[in-house]
Chains A and B, each alone.
Chain A
Amino acid sequence: KAGVTQTPRYLIKTRGQQVTLSCSPISGHRSVSWYQQTPGQGLQFLFEYFSETQRNKGNFPGRFSGRQFSNSRSEMNVSTLELGDSALYLCASSGGVLTPQQETQYFGPGTRLLVL
């Protein structure tokens, strides 16, 4: 079974731009969660999508948004990029029967975003 894939793997943007990251979950998984990892804050939960609906949301500003398609693939969008948005963005998929924190999550390799 193919693992979780994320594209692109690396991205360089400038302040004020917007960016869209993509995540394809493991086949059959219906839940996709997004996380931001920075050296200062560590891993932080962004949001989780299940059946095309945002089911849970972390404490991030509205510039961070996402969506999920009918095939469970998910995209994350960050608008008006700031220097502090430079981070590794990870997505993880799980079956979705329970909430992500109650199920084993399978992580993608991440997208490393650098904002200049």
Chain B
Amino acid sequence: KNEVEQSPQNLTAQEGEFITINCSYSVGISALHWLQQHPGGGIVSLFMLSSGKKKHGRLIATINIQEKHSSLHITASHPRDSAVYICAGENSGGGADGLTFGKGTHLIIQP
């Protein structure tokens, strides 16, 4: 069974700090999605990546295929970045089982 593990589970930081959330995954996962979930439940897909690095605004996602590790970075963090960040692995065996999700990182940015 494919697995995705995130760390830390909870993270509190001050506005302006550089944030890093980590995701490790098992063999059998070929790509990673990063999702953001705000209080109330709405989920937004941030990134989908299978190699290298992607950037969107203050968000940067990287993936190291050899080490089976991905990171999500937030630069110049802001209270509106407070949310749960979830990484999800794409199962390389084809369509079965959809995505395998991590438990999420609950991020709080204090003003």
Question: For residues 31 through 45 of chain B, which have their beta carbon under 8 Å from a beta carbon of chain A?
Answer: 31, 33, 35, 40-45
Are B45 and A58 neighbours in the complex by a CB distance under 8 Å? no
Minimum CB–CB distance for B58 against chain A, Å:
19
Give the residue of B40, B45, B94, B101 whose beta carbon is less than 8 angstroms from that of A107: B45
Give the residue of B45, B91, B95 whose beta carbon is less than 8 angstroms from that of A104: B45
B73 beta carbon closer than 8 Å to chain A: no
How far, in angstroms, from A90 to B86 measured CA to CA in the complex? 14
Interface of B is mostly: strand
Interface size on B (CB < 8 Å)? 25
Are B42 and A45 neighbours in the complex by a CB distance under 8 Å? no
Known A42-B101, A59-B97: A102·B45 in contact at CB below 8 Å: no
Minimum CB–CB distance for B79 against chain A, Å:
22
Minimum CB–CB distance for A2 against chain B, Å:
15
A101 beta carbon closer than 8 Å to chain B: yes
Are B90 and A48 neighbours in the complex by a CB distance under 8 Å? no
Are B43 and A107 neighbours in the complex by a CB distance under 8 Å? yes
Residues of B within 8 A of A (CB): 31, 33, 35, 40-45, 48, 86, 88, 90-91, 94-104
Residues of A within 8 A of B (CB): 33, 35, 37, 42-45, 48, 55-59, 88, 90, 92, 99-107, 109-110, 112
